Homo-oligomer: A and B are copies of this chain.
Amino acid sequence: MEDPLYQLKQHDKEIKLLIHCRALLDWDQETYMPEKAIDERAEQIALLERLIHERVTSPAMGSLLEKIGVNDENPDGPGKYTDIERALVREMYRRYRKAIKLPDILVAEIAQKACIAQSRWAVAKRESDFTLFAPHLQTLVSLIREKADHLGYNTDPYEPLLDDYEPWMDPVDLDRLFENLKPELKVLQQHITEKGRKIEKGFLSREYAEEKQKTFGLFILEKMGFDERKGRLDISAHPFTTSAGSSDVRLTTRYNRHNLNTGVFGIIHECGHGLYDLGFSRALWQTLLANGTSLGIHESQSRLWENIIGKGLPFWQAFYPRLQALFPESLGDVDVINFYRGINAVEPSFIRVEADELTYNLHIILRYTLEKALINEELTVHELPEAWREESAKLLGIKPERDADGVLQDIHWSGGAFGYFPTYTLGNLYSAQFYMTMKKEIADIEEEVKKGNLLVIRDWLTHNIHIHGSVYPALKLCRKVTGEELNPHYFIAYLTQKYGEIYGI
């Protein structure tokens, strides 16, 4: 009889191959697919999703897990295994336990409906008309509610949904975290508005030719250590990163001729995700451990690169001359300090992905509040646009008039992703905590960045975080890397110091 662990790994490898095939179909849909192909693409994706689900929940999988002796009492598997093997067994069991609760047909239906909804969302956003998207969103909310019911929960159907993106995180803990964060952010914002110096950022909406933005973006990717033999950068309406193989990471971005931030920081952000996906230890390749351990940790990578590094002064001391040389007419009269201040200006705005690091989290709290209400049936799809405007007024002090600037701006819900948004703010919290540890371990890190050496950052992150894939759950990884629990204090301290300098307060 063959070793059950070996057999389990063979099953898992086939699942991973199918996941990567599916990812390529998704990527293609958002980048190159002709528009009339969408209906069949939805069926293709639904089929792959069903094949994956069938394999994850197969009786063979169940009996192999049983043979190995992993169960609710022993979720880690036997002690004779290596740490990686135990983690593999743990994650396979967790996936299995969750997946067997879901009917095949529901999984395929969500995949198919989400694929269609996503393409309708894109149209609705272009037309800025929520009514075009509403029926599709309604369908998805019902299906996702149904999914939550199958998965089960203690008090809140949001629990198992959040768990898809941030395993082991309880919405009650998240509520507390956000409740504590909200006043601190609002106080800091008020302080900046009332006492901070005026910051000029008009130059960011001058003319920036897309081709040159791309040139600069590719240069930064190379500096960050992104291997172009293992990945690529394309254009899509909503930027994302996905893996079609262990050595095949696809980043996308979009460019705006009159908003320099969109392209540049979008690329740095996605590359942060991409480096995580390319950094898993080879021992984990083609297993389900070759995955970010949670989306919060994934976002910690993208947002550490985008904000702490990419919106930091040392970064621009290194690379601003090159940017300025590419855009002499738009940046010739802006020095590096004013550029640095401009890209960091704090100001309430409509669009999440273009928000500053402080108000960004208010955007997240808004979405978190609304999606929980939708899932808990405290809010209808019909009421959503108005609720968005009201929450926006409460949290940010501004009300979007156009649906495209409000409820339609993000792709997530159209893909059935409820429970995803809070991971962005978790990512911010983790990133600040990781960076403080990095700074302790590499004393001259800012000097290195100032010299243009970003590989020192990439290597630290790879060594401490990326190689582990999902061997350690997020909160445990945080303890392992930083020596303590997730602590929002680091993020607040980081913001306070950064904006203190920028705003002279």
Contact = CB atoms under 8 A, between A and B. Distances in A.
Contact of A230 (B14, B36, B47, B230): B36
A101 B232 CA distance: 41
A248 B29 CA distance: 11
Contacts of A48: 21
A104 interface: no
A249 B33 CA distance: 10
A36 B247 contact: yes
A35 B231 CA distance: 9
Contact of A245 (B17, B20, B40, B228): B40
Nearest to A27: B28
A34 interface: yes
Contact of A28 (B28, B227, B231): B28
A40 B232 contact: no
Nearest to A37: B248
B232 A34 contact: yes
Interface residues of A, number: 36
A185 interface: no
A43 B245 CA distance: 10
A40 B230 contact: no
Given A37-B244, A37-B245, A244-B37, A44 B21 contact: yes
A80 interface: no
Nearest to A244: B37
B20 A44 contact: yes
A18 interface: yes
A41 interface: yes
A99 interface: no
A6 interface: no
A245 B34 CA distance: 10
Nearest to A48: B21
Given A20-B44, A40-B286, A44-B17, A247 B34 contact: yes
Interface of A: 14, 17-18, 20-21, 24-25, 28, 32-37, 39-41, 43-44, 47-48, 51, 227-232, 234, 244-249, 286
